[in-house]
Amino acid sequence: MRAADAGRHLGVLRRLGQTFRAGTTLVAVGVCLLVVAFVVVLAGTALPAIRHFGLRFFTDPAFSTIPVLVGTLLTSGLALLLAVPVAFGVAIFVSESAPRWLRLALTYVVDLGATIPSVVYGFWALEVLVPWMRSTVEPDLARATGGRGPFAGLPLGTDLLSASVVLAIMIVPTISALAREALRSVPRSSREAALGLGATRWDATRIAVLGPASPGLVAAVMLGLGRAIGETIAVALVIGNIYVLPTSLFSPGGTIPSLIVNRFGDAFGLQLDALIELGLILFALSFAINLGARLLIRRLEAGPRGGTPSASRRRSGALTPSAPSAAAGSLLQAPPWWERVARRRATTVRRRRLRERIVLIVLAAAVLAAVVPLASLVATAVGQGGSAVITPSFYTSVPPPFCVKANASTVCPLGGIGPAIEGTLILLGLASLVGIPVGVLTGIYLSEYGRNRFGRLLSLLTDVMVGVPSILLGVFVFALFLRYDRFDAQSALAGSAALALLMIPIVTRATETALRAVPSHLREAALALGFPRHRVTTRIVLGNARGALVTGNLLALGRAGGETAALVLTAGTSTYWFTGLRAPIAALGPLIYDDLTISIAPNWTIDAWGAALILLLIMAAVSLAARLSLRTEGEPGSE
């Protein structure tokens, strides 16, 4: 009897397991199809334009294709040039040199910097950076170079150079956070091996850390480049938006994403299709970067090449000792030059100590360069938006209406961002309803069942989707809704669909990483106890990865909560309370963007800074939660 019961129970369990596996597989296949749909819809919608305009799309100045392509590559390239040294400097400082308290503080600041929404960066840049560039940096540069070459022309402030600098400021935290993780994943034993040879800290970094970390460092740079190329809102706010070929860095210009977001509102018919064709080009760019990064990383991971500049470099006679099988006793005769080396030992050590100190100064300068803009941003937001944020009515009222003449004076009400908060919460709720379960299940599939060809494909597609500029998600959703739902293409529903698309790959990656981090011996122990596979996943693995999972979802929610570009395209423009899923909806990001670009209401700066400060506070909380949950789960064993 008992045996039969047990057998039946096992049968039930097996079926449950099969169902679980089938379920996650189904979702995973769905995500794959979604990515395919993404490409197909973009290409399909652009097709009329491609057919109609052909090569004229590139040659005809009316389309501005070449100028924005140049603008995109120029600003991203320059941003990368500015950002990489700073970001690597910060990462090396945090990982190799900083005392513990400073390491924790800087880690937090950098992680926060990576989560600040681009609309907030853009706002700050417009209010603080652009005036500074116009009044100080650009005139100085022009003077120093005699106003020639890339520094010719009138310093306007809203130009390619400012856009590059904002981009650099934005991608420094992204690159730095990933680079830091890459450096920290190099085991301590490698560093100690170098220190044990008489290396200084900097020597140890150079010899034992940078090499093994190089795949991760490359990945960090590539992610930064991808982010720079797809960045929309911050660039659109400061680049000047003039779509002709730039003649200098002081020329106003445009990039593909900024052109799309600027023209999308008024475009229809073939114009719209042409914009989507531009989007397709942007996708191709980001895809190429992703693929290039993969190839480069694989080559680096394939292990060391010779390790020396050139393998054939050395074939001196000294390498073939005169007595190849030297007898055991007479081994330790020092070569004649050793005396010289030994005598200078203390001097070389002193010289390397000096170099270590100089490097430390350079690293500290990098940290300063990374932290100062962030500090300025936070200070500005608190200074400008602080009063609004502590006013209760700010959260419950609608944006400021026009000023009212009361008696003899004019009263301009503060207004509030109630609708935007409501709208953001609704959008996030709807997006999580789809994004979180789909992302988590896909992540489970990748981690637990994904060791096959389909799994690798899915993993590639997830990487591609993580790197897709968010504005393209907006373009995709808009195109999709336009096709089936002509009149309500911009609505709460479309907005939350775009946010869900944004969240899925992030949640997937976070889930996969969290599950993979659960040590395999835990799984094996549970399997050995007779746990069925799906129970191991749901109970043991998910249980142990809980903290990291929550963190991943929080970060995804944070990203979506501050998203602007995709929402500007899909959620429409609304300053009023929620009226229905098929109507436009307000949200925090678009509120700031609209305030900066189209609002004529008084008090709009306070309004927008209040919203920006709220976004900042949310991100600060999310980053803090992420830090804390990772800390309680413990850092990987030190010994």
Partner 1 sequence: MRSVPSKMEVAGLNAWYGPRQVLYDLSIDLPDRASTAIIGPSGCGKSTFLRCLNRLHEEGAGARVQGTIRLDGEDLARLDPALVRCRVGMVFQKPSPFPNLSIFENVAAGLRLLGVRRREELDQGVSQALIEAGLWEEVAEVLDAPGTSLSGGQQQRLCIARALAVRPEVLLLDEPCSALDPIATAKIEGLLAKLRSEYTVVIATHNLAQATRIADHTAFLYLGSLIEFAPTEQLFQHPKEALTENYVKGRFG
Which residue, 55 or 302, is less far from partner 1 as judged by CB?
Answer: 302
Which residue, 8 or 314, is less far from partner 1 as judged by CB?
Answer: 314
**Sign of the dihedral defined by the CA atoms of residues 563, 566, 571, 575, in that order:** positive
Following CA atoms 450, 455, 458, 464 in sequence, which dihedral angle do they give, to the nearest 10 degrees? 90
> What is the spatial distance between Cα 546 and Cα 550, in angstroms, rounded to a whole number?
6
Shortest Å distance, C-beta 296 to partner 1: 15
Query: 572, 42, 37, 585: which is closest to 272 by C-alpha?
Result: 42
Which 8-state DSSP code applies to residue 581?
A: T
Shortest Å distance, C-beta 303 to partner 1: 5
Distances (CA, A) of 289 to 307, 495, 622: 27, 27, 29
Which residue, 144 or 331, is less far from partner 1 as judged by CB?
Answer: 331
Distances (CA, A) of 109 to 103, 194, 595: 10, 30, 28
- Which residues does residue 404 pair with via DSSP β-bridges, in sequence order? 411
Shortest Å distance, C-beta 325 to partner 1: 7
- CB 417 within 8 Å of CB 424: no
> What is the spatial distance between Cα 427 and Cα 501, in angstroms, rounded to a whole number?
12
Does an H or E element contain 405, and which? strand 404-406
Place of tokens 């990945």: 219
User: Which positions ≥6 away from 134 have C-beta within 8 Å?
Assistant: 155, 156, 157
Shortest Å distance, C-beta 94 to partner 1: 14
Shortest Å distance, C-beta 348 to partner 1: 4
Following CA atoms 56, 60, 63, 67 in sequence, which dihedral angle do they give, to the nearest 10 degrees? 120
> Contact positions toward partner 1, by CB under 8 A?
100, 189-190, 192-200, 203, 207-208, 211-212, 214, 303-304, 306-308, 311, 313-314, 316-321, 324-326, 328, 331-332, 334-335, 337-338, 341-342, 344-346, 348-350, 352-353
> What is the spatial distance between Cα 236 and Cα 596, in angstroms, rounded to a whole number?
11
Which residue, 316 or 409, is less far from partner 1 as judged by CB?
Answer: 316
> What is the spatial distance between Cα 291 and Cα 295, in angstroms, rounded to a whole number?
6
Helical ranges in 390-417 per DSSP H: 393-396
> What is the spatial distance between Cα 92 and Cα 370, in angstroms, rounded to a whole number?
13
Place of tokens 């979506």: 560
Shortest Å distance, C-beta 634 to partner 1: 15
3-state secondary structure 35-52: HHHHHHHHHHHHHHHHHH
Which residue, 148 or 315, is less far from partner 1 as judged by CB?
Answer: 315
Distances (CA, A) of 344 to 77, 203, 333, 352: 44, 18, 19, 12
Which residue, 88 or 264, is less far from partner 1 as judged by CB?
Answer: 88
Helical ranges in 93-159 per DSSP H: 100-115, 118-124, 130-132, 138-145
Shortest Å distance, C-beta 566 to partner 1: 40
Which residue, 136 or 308, is less far from partner 1 as judged by CB?
Answer: 308
Which 8-state DSSP code applies to residue 197?
A: T
Shortest Å distance, C-beta 353 to partner 1: 7
- CB 538 within 8 Å of CB 526: no
Which residue, 266 or 639, is less far from partner 1 as judged by CB?
Answer: 639
> What is the spatial distance between Cα 605 and Cα 594, in angstroms, rounded to a whole number?
11
Which residue, 325 or 452, is less far from partner 1 as judged by CB?
Answer: 325
Shortest Å distance, C-beta 302 to partner 1: 10
Which residue, 207 or 267, is less far from partner 1 as judged by CB?
Answer: 207
Shortest Å distance, C-beta 328 to partner 1: 6
Which residue, 96 or 422, is less far from partner 1 as judged by CB?
Answer: 96
Alpha carbon distance, N-terminus to C-terminus of the chain: 51
Which residue, 100 or 405, is less far from partner 1 as judged by CB?
Answer: 100
Q: Tell me, what amino acid is at 104?
A: L
Which residue, 97 or 553, is less far from partner 1 as judged by CB?
Answer: 97
Query: 77, 85, 257: which is closest to 150 by C-alpha?
Result: 77
Which residue, 39 or 193, is less far from partner 1 as judged by CB?
Answer: 193
Shortest Å distance, C-beta 227 to partner 1: 28
Shortest Å distance, C-beta 345 to partner 1: 6
Q: Tell me, what amino acid is at 29?
A: V
Which residue, 21 or 352, is less far from partner 1 as judged by CB?
Answer: 352
- CB 443 within 8 Å of CB 436: no
- Which residues does residue 410 pair with via DSSP β-bridges, in sequence order? 405
> What is the spatial distance between Cα 496 and Cα 436, in angstroms, rounded to a whole number?
13
Shortest Å distance, C-beta 106 to partner 1: 16
- CB 425 within 8 Å of CB 403: no
Which residue, 269 or 329, is less far from partner 1 as judged by CB?
Answer: 329
Shortest Å distance, C-beta 54 to partner 1: 49
Shortest Å distance, C-beta 186 to partner 1: 9
Shortest Å distance, C-beta 357 to partner 1: 13
Q: Determine the distance from the C-alpha atom of residue 56 to the mean position of all C-alpha atoms in its chain, rounded to a whole number.
A: 34
